[in-house]
């Protein structure tokens, strides 16, 4: 049945494609003058299919088949009867989720972490790329770039471990310093008030350098003549940055901002999971970690899937709206 639907979809487009092919002559085979059937076209492209099929099959199996599992959000998962045999419970898991007071806490944590990230993290790659752009000596610039890109390649395990070495209450470097100066050690890792800032700062440390790549690429595309004209008019370097560089990369900044807002429900899952401990659970729990602990650790598969489904759906809505907005503003979105 599915094959017939697929064939119908493909065949419909073929008719348009043939009309198109008469006018355009790039991307693939040379112009085909005669009308060819779907089968002969597939045969014509058989080697291409040979190359492409592996990736296609992979995506089908590992990206689309799991979506079948989302049905479990509406069922009560029974380990023995599997997905199809489990009982339907409709929206029970979702209503349970919304009624749970912890839901609002998770929502709050997600939004706070993202907002803090937006305010503290988002401007930094811009600022640093501006600073890098002003560097005259190329070797210095290259060395700086090499160094700041480095944290991006570390795993969260390593970064959280480094955080532990710096901030742990008995052997962390900062606390050793405090003790040497006769202050009391502070338990950074187990007190609630530090958690959000720690998460954001880890993010800054890891991703700021990498984020400058995009902006440096945008800045490199600015026409030098604009700068020359400004210099002739007597503009200082700061004025040049303010009046030329920044406005020129404004589209990039705006698009990135919108996409960032689109990802608002995404909080670095592995990062939060590693940093969380029972003492900070109130400020650390987000939807993904909740889905994980409920689903895999507590065996509440259906509830976990429901939470994950909810989060993906809301995230999808945000991302699509964000992309729509970005397109409206004038430049292409990602798609």
Partner 1 sequence: MKGGDLLSFYKARHLTIGDYINYTLLIIVSLICIFPFIYVFSMSFTAPEVYVPLKFSLLPAKWSLESYKFILSSNSFINSLNSTLFITVVGTCLNLVFTFTAAYGLSKKAMPGHSLFMKAVVFTLVFNAGILPAYILVKNVGLLNSLWSLIIPGLTNAWSLIVVKSFMESIPPELEESARIDGCNEIGVFFRIIIPLSKASLAAFALFFAVGHWNTYFNAMIYLTDTKKWTLQVLIKSMIIDSGSVGFGGGGDETILPQETIKMAAIILSILPILVVYPFVQKYFAQGVMIGAIKG
Residues numbered 103-142 forming contacts with partner 1, rule: CB under 8 A: 128, 131-136, 138, 140
Give the nearest distance from C-beta 126 to partner 1 in angstroms: 14
Site string for partner 1, 165-204 (x = CB under 8 A): xx---xx-x--xx-xx------------------------
- Continuous H helices in the chain: 2-21, 38-44, 46-59, 65-68, 82-85, 92-99, 101-116, 123-133, 138-149, 156-167, 173-180, 192-220, 224-232, 237-240, 246-262, 269-275, 281-284, 287-292, 301-329
Q: Is residue 23 at the binding interface for partner 1, with CB under 8 A as the rule? A: no
- Do 291 and 304 contact (CB within 8 A), yes or no? yes
Q: Is residue 151 at the binding interface for partner 1, with CB under 8 A as the rule? A: yes
| Binders in 232-251 for partner 1, by CB under 8 A | 237-238
Which of 286, 96, 288, 116 lies closest to 194, judged by CA? 116
Give the Cα separation of 93 and 302 in Å (integer): 7
Closer CB to partner 1, residue 65 or residue 104? 65
Tokens encoding 35: 């009308």
| Binders in 27-56 for partner 1, by CB under 8 A | 27-30, 38, 41-42, 45, 47-52, 54-56
| Binders in 202-221 for partner 1, by CB under 8 A | 205, 209, 213-214, 217-221
Give the nearest distance from C-beta 95 to partner 1 in angstroms: 19
- Do 72 and 94 contact (CB within 8 A), yes or no? no
Give the nearest distance from C-beta 80 to partner 1 in angstroms: 13
Closer CB to partner 1, residue 19 or residue 171? 171
- Do 247 and 230 contact (CB within 8 A), yes or no? no
- Per CB under 8 A, the list member of 65, 91, 119, 229 interacting with partner 1 is 65
């Amino acid at each position: 049945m599915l094959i017939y639907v697929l064939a119908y979809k493909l065949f419909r487009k073929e008719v348009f494609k043939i009309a198109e092919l008469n006018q355009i002559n790039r991307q693939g085979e040379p112009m085909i003058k005669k009308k060819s059937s779907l089968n002969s076209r597939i045969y014509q492209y058989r080697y291409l299919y040979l190359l492409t099929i592996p990736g296609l099959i992979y995506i089908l199996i590992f990206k689309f088949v799991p979506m079948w599992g989302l049905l479990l959000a509406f069922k009560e998962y029974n380990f023995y009867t599997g997905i199809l045999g489990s009982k339907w419970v409709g929206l029970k898991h979702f209503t349970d989720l919304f009624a749970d007071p912890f839901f609002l806490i998770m929502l709050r944590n997600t939004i706070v972490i993202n907002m803090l990230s937006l305010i503290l993290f988002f401007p930094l790659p811009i600022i640093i790329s501006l600073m890098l752009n002003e560097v005259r000596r190329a070797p210095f610039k290259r060395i700086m770039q090499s160094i700041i890109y480095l944290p991006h390649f570390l795993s969260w395990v390593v970064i959280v471990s480094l955080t532990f070495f710096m901030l742990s209450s008995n052997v962390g470097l900062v606390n050793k310093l405090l003790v040497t100066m006769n202050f009391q050690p502070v338990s950074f890792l187990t007190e609630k008030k530090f958690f959000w800032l720690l998460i954001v700062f880890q993010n800054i440390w890891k991703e700021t350098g990498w984020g400058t790549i995009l902006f440096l690429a945008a800045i490199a595309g600015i026409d030098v003549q604009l700068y020359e004209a400004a210099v002739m008019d007597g503009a200082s370097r700061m004025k040049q940055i303010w009046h030329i560089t920044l406005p020129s990369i404004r589209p990039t900044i705006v698009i990135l901002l919108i996409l960032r807002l689109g990802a608002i429900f995404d909080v670095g899952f592995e990062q939060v999971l590693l940093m969380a401990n029972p003492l900070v659970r109130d400020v650390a729990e987000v939807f993904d970690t909740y889905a994980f602990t409920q689903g895999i650790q507590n065996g509440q598969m259906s509830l976990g899937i429901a939470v994950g489904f909810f989060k993906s759906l809301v995230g999808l809505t945000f991302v699509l709206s964000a992309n729509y907005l970005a397109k409206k503003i004038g430049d292409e979105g990602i798609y």
